[in-house]
Each structure stands twice: as structure tokens, then as C-alpha cells.
Amino acid sequence: MDFRTRHAGAMLNAASAQRRTYTIRGLPASTTFQLCFWNRTGNGLNTFDDRARSDNSGVVTIAAPLHSMFVLTTRRIS
């Protein structure tokens, strides 16, 4: 991933219909993670209601709105 891809939404001041796909490797295999977003819908709020599961190789792929940020965790956040 190059610099332009990693920072594509850095200068946005509003929600965007564009999404980016992120592949994270090196995670525990076959593990369910809580997927938390900041600004997922463009309202500046946090959401904690999504899940992601790694495959047998420890890989998770996340599609996220360009204007958002996300985190994966094995801890329950509410």
C-alpha cells in the first residue's frame, strides 16, 4: 500500500461514498474480533456493533468508508 492509498481520506471534511479495502495479516487464526469504527456514517460517532473473523491463515479483510477509521480487538467494547 502506498502513501496515497493510506492517506486518501486524510483531507476529507465530509462523508464520502468511496470505500477502501484493508487486509490485515498475522492475526490469530479463526478468531472473531470486534470491529469498531469512528465516523463510519460520517456523523463523527463511534460504532461498536460489527464483527470480523480471521480465516485459517490469520487474515482479515475490512471494507471501510474512506472518511472513517477502524480498530479490531478481541476485547468487548460497548
Q: Is 9 left (phi over 0), alpha (psi -120 to 50) or beta?
A: alpha
pLDDT of residue 1: 47
Domain boundaries, the chain: 3-11+18-73
Q: How many residues does the chain have?
A: 78
Distance between CA atoms of residues 56 and 34, nearest Å: 18
Give percent above pLDDT 70 in the chain: 79
pTM, 2 dp: 0.75
The DSSP call for residue 38 is: E
Query: What tens digit of pLDDT does each residue of 20-53 get?
Result: 899 999 999 999 999 999 999 888 899 999 999 9
Is the model's pLDDT at 55 over the cut of 60? yes
